Every structure is written in C-alpha cells, then in structure tokens.
Chain A
Amino acid sequence: MLEIRNLTVRHGYLQAVTNVSLTLSVGETVAIIGANGAGKSTLLRSIAGLHRPHAGDISFDGRVITRLASHARVRQGLVLVPEGRRLFPSLSVDENLLIGTTSGRPGSWNLRRVFDLFPWMEARRREPTVHLSGGEQQAVALGRALMANPRVLLLDELSLGLAPTVVRRIYGVLPDLIRDGIGVLLVEQDVGQALRVADRFQCLLEGRTTLEGRPAEATPAAVEAAYFGLAARAGPAGAA
C-alpha cells in the first residue's frame, strides 16, 4: 500500500536520511527503531510531506505522492500523529478532533467513535487541551488523526514523556485499528515497546537502514549491534 524507494532527505548540508526503502501493507504494523538522531522522525515527516526529499520516491496505492502537499496526503488517507502531539492550544478538545475532518475523507470515524475509544474525553470535550495531561493529549492527537479516516497511520514517538501504563493504554487501541484495515508505521525510541507491537521492524543508524526483519527472528544482540552501529561498521547491512 505504502512504498518508499531509495529515499534521501537533507537538512541543508546535512544528510538525515540516506537511501532508505520501506514497504507497508494493509493491516500491517512496521516499526522504525534507532538511536536519537538516526533519521526516524525525518523519514516519517517526509512521508507526511513535511520535508521534500532530495532523492527517491514515495508511492501510495501505486500512485507517486513524493511532491504532494501534506494536506493532500491526508486526503489520500496518509495521516501523521506528530512527535510532541502538536495540539492546537486555542481550540477545545472537540475542536481539535474536528480539525481532523477537514480533509473530508469518508469513513466511519466521528466524535462518537473517538469518545467510545477514550470514554474520559466526552466529559472534557469543551476544555482547552492545555488542561489535559500528557497521555490525554496524546489520545486527542491520535483521535484527531483517526477523525481523518486514515488508511495508514504514521505514529511519531507516541510514548515520549508518558508513563509506561499510559503508553500501554494508548498502544492498546492499535490492534482494533489494524483489524479495520489500517496500516501503522511507527517510530519509537522505546525499542521494547516497538518490537512488541510490530509485525516487522527496520533499524536506522545515521540515516541508513542497518537491520530489518521480524521481531521474533531478530536476536537482541543483532538489534543492539544495528542500533548502536557495532556490526554495521564491520560489515554491510544485513537482514536478520
């Protein structure tokens, strides 16, 4: 469904992502792991249209979308939940959610269904989001993305700054979404969390893929080596 071919992204002189390829199918969860600064967020933001790649292609349903604007990608069903939540401070909780409907994609998501998913939200729907806790804000950010009726959800550092129980609760809603046929591409610093929920993973180091495979097939040592670049320095990047 989503296919990335040889993507290279630069920030000025600095190359953040180098020659990364990746595929994501319907109902699949793929995790991008890697150390701080490995290029994970840049990769996700490029897929969402926030960075223009220097080289390579992004296609969605066989259509090349490399040069499409962010909002037009949302209309195709490619929706990012950004790092740091990025809620709108002057909008209330339900207004934040309703912004997700701007693209006008048809689908089953509405305020009711988001409130069913996160029952606490309904009672606090008129409040400004600055009153919410970090986990609650993350739920609103996820709800805002769901309101767009996504076919692929891009999740950037969902767990950042949240307590482990809150993280588990948020990740707990993913299986239901995937059963609906949504594909999930997630970036996570918490490798354990990422490997628990993912069908496949891809490890980035200094902007390049150093390891990819299925969590069950990768040994902790191999993951660690790919993560910190111990093995990658010695030999070519290999699949586990």
Chain B
Amino acid sequence: MNWVNAIIQGVMLGGLYALFACGLSLLFGVVRVVNLAHGDFAVLAAYLALVVITVTHVPALLTFVIVAPLFALFGYGVQRLIIQKSLEVSPLTTLLVTFGLSVVIQNALLVFASADSHSFDLGRLTSASLQITPELSIAFVSLIIFFTAVVVLVGLQLFLSNTATGRSIRAAADDQEAAAIAGVNTRHVFGVAAAIAFATVALAGLALGTYSSFDPSAGPPRLIYAFEAVIIGGVGSLWGTLVGGIILGVAQTVGAQIDPSGGVLAGHLVFLAVLALRPQGLIRARLAT
C-alpha cells in the first residue's frame, strides 16, 4: 500500500511541477527564451502573497486573485523592458540576463525577508484529506493544486487555439517577421504571452507555498523540475508537460520510498534516461504553443 500511496502522491506532486513547467514552456515556445529566473519569480510571487495576506487578511488560497494579475502586468513589463531588449542583442543574452535576475531576486529576498522559510496558513484545510481506503488518502491541498494545473493547461490550450490573441501568439511564435508584416505587433504579443506565463508562475508560487514551504533559495530547484517536466513530456506540448510533470513527481516519490534521501536524485536520473533514450520527449505533439 506504501507503493500505491507513493505513486498517488507522485501524481499529485506532478501537478505542481506541471504548473511550474507551463510558464517555462509557454515563454520558450513563443518568445524562444529560457527564463533562468523562472523559479525565483515563483518564489517572489509567494512572498508577494505573504504581503497581501498580511495587509488584507484574505485567505491564502484567494490571494491569487490579486497576485496573478499583478504578476501578469509585471511579466508584460519584464518582457517589454528587459527580455525583448536582450533578445535583440542575441538570443543567448537572455540566458545571461535572466540568470542575473535570478541572483538579484534571491539576494533581494534575503535582504528584505531573511533566510527564514515560510508557508501559507490554510487553517483546517491543512490536514483535511480525501480518504480512499483506511490506509490511503490524498490531501485536499494536493487535489486543489492538481486540479489547478489541469485547469490552467486546458485553459491555455483553449485560449491559444480559439482566440484571436492566441492565434497572433502562435503566428508570432512561428515566424516573427511574417507576423509583423501581416499586421501583428509582435512585441506586444510577446508581452501578452509573457503576462500569461507570469500569471501561471504566480499560481505555481502560491501552489508551492501551499504544498510545502519556501525560502529565498527555493527557486532554482523548481526551475530545474519545471525544465525536466518540459523535456520529459516533449518540448512544445502542453499535455506532454502534464505527463512529464507526473512522471517526474512519481519518480521522486517512488525514489524517496526506496531511499528517503534519494527522491530528487531519482527524478534527475529519470530525466537523464529520457534525454539519453528519447530526447524528443515522451509525447510527440504538434507545437501547441
């Protein structure tokens, strides 16, 4: 029963990783930028939520109403003012610049918020769980995160395939110059894509603070997990991202079941195995983003 439990917990954890991965995947798919500060932005969102809770006393789970839109605006600004400019210097400059942002965010959080770790106080929800059998249960919090990940992925897919803005985003991702001469303001469209990506980053940060705890250095591991989920699932496929997240989550929980300190290493090894054996990822899909 321990193994079944480990797998179920792994699937739930995979939802969290998929939520982290979809912003990374979207920004890479559209703007061709790998944001090395991805995890740090999520942690920043979690700290922003702490401020919102302190100031407004809204329940932790509802802070997304404020934090996600703020992050969307923030993402638009970061894209237009920093990432776009770096892209025009050279594509690889974006890696250096986002790596610099990562260092700046981590140390700024250290200065302003100390190295202490935090998590959100969810009241009675913290211990509530769905009892499946006497030995098997799933925490409500995990279910909420998994459900959020699925809703975000489905919503993103629908938005990209069915709206005029989504169409412009896909066109600009395909061929920036052709989109521009067809009348698409590609810088604005990239800004919109970044805004959406940052809104999902904010949700991922809130999910992190709900699922476990965070501190200023919590970002880089999440960037790595998100990246692994994207590669395992196949670059460019949003559904693949969910599958990739789940495979990574299960690898970590099952690995930890074998050896309590081996979970993260097991996840990395599964990633490297996929890279060695199936570098195109497990799911080959038409470019969705």
> How distant is the Cα of A144 from the Cα of B182 in the complex, in angstroms?
7
Instruction: Assess A69 versus B287: contact at CB under 8 Å? Given A90-B174, A95-B167, A102-B168.
Output: no
| Stretch among B99-107, B183-191, B196-204 lining the A interface | B183-191
Interface SS, A side? loop
B236: nearest residue on chain A (CB-CB)? Answer: A90
Given known A69-B185, A95-B167, A102-B168, contact A50–B180 (CB-CB < 8 A): yes
Least CB distance from B169 to A in Å reads: 10
Q: Point out the residue from A82, A89, A102 that lies within 8 Å of B183, measured CB to CB.
A: A102
Q: A50-B181, A71-B185 are in contact. Are A99 and B175 (CB under 8 A)?
A: no
B180→A102 contact, CB < 8 A: no
Give the size category of A's interface with B: 20 to 34
Chain A contacts for B184, CB-based, 8 A: 71, 99, 102
Q: List A contacts of B173 (CB < 8 A).
A: 90
Question: Main secondary structure on chain B at its contact with chain A?
Answer: helix
Most B CB contacts (10 A, CB to CB) among A75, A79, A86 go to A86
Pick the most buried of B168, B178, B182, B286: most chain A CB atoms within 10 A of its CB.
Answer: B182
B177 touching A90, Cβ below 8 Å:
no
| A85-107 contacts to B (CB < 8 Å) | 86-91, 95-96, 98-103, 105
**Taking the complex as formed, is B179 at the interface, i.e. its CB lies under 8 A from any CB of chain A?**
yes
Total A-B Cβ pairs within 8 A: 77
Q: Would you call A103 and B178 a contact (CB within 8 A)? A: no
The answer for the CA separation of A69 and B184 in the assembled complex, in Å, is 10
| Nearest B residue to A70, CB-CB | B180
Q: Is B164 an interface residue (CB 8 A)?
A: yes
Is A16 part of the binding interface, using a Cβ–Cβ cutoff of 8 Å? no
Q: Is A207 an interface residue (CB 8 A)?
A: no
Instruction: Please give, as numbers and ranges, the residues of chain B lying within 8 Å of A86 by CB-CB distance.
Output: 175, 177-178, 181
Tell yes or no: A139 within 8 A of B by CB: no
The answer to whether residues A99 and B185 also contact, given A71-B180, A90-B174 and a CB cut-off of 8 A, is no
Q: How large is the interface on B (under 10, 10 to 19, 20 to 34, 35 or more residues)?
A: 20 to 34
A49 lies within 8 A of B180 (CB): yes
Q: Which B95-148 residues have C-beta < 8 A from chain A?
A: none
Q: How distant is the Cα of A180 from the Cα of B171 in the complex, in angstroms?
A: 29
Q: Which residues of A contact B182 (CB under 8 A)?
A: 74, 79, 99-100, 102, 144-145, 148
Answer yes or no: B170 CB below 8 A from chain A CBs. Answer: yes
Q: In the complex, which residues 55-83 of chain A have their Cβ closer than 8 Å to any Cβ of chain B?
A: 69-72, 74-75, 79-80, 82
B180→A100 contact, CB < 8 A? no
A17 to B174, CA, bound (A): 29
Instruction: Say how far A49's CB is from chain B's closest CB, in angstroms.
Output: 7
CB distance B171 to A91 under 8 Å? yes
CB of A48 within 8 Å of the partner chain: yes
Min Cβ gap B92→A in Å is 20
- Identify which of B170, B180, B286 gathers the most chain A CB atoms within 10 Å of its CB: B180
In chain B between 49 and 96, which residues have their CB closer than 8 angstroms to a CB of chain A? none
From B173, B184, B186, residue with most partner A Cβ within 10 Å: B184
The distance in angstroms between the C-alpha atoms of A99 and B184, with both chains bound, is 8
Given contacts A89-B174, A95-B167, A99-B168, contact A48 B183 (CB under 8 A): no
The reply to whether A71 and B183 contact each other, CB–CB distance below 8 Å, is yes
Q: Tell whether, in the assembled complex, residue A80 and residue B181 are in contact, meaning their CB atoms are under 8 Å apart.
A: yes
Given contacts A91-B167, A99-B171, contact A70 B286 (CB under 8 A): no
New A-B pairs, 4, CB < 8 Å, besides A86-B177, A86-B178, A91-B171 = A69-B185, A99-B171, A99-B179, A102-B184
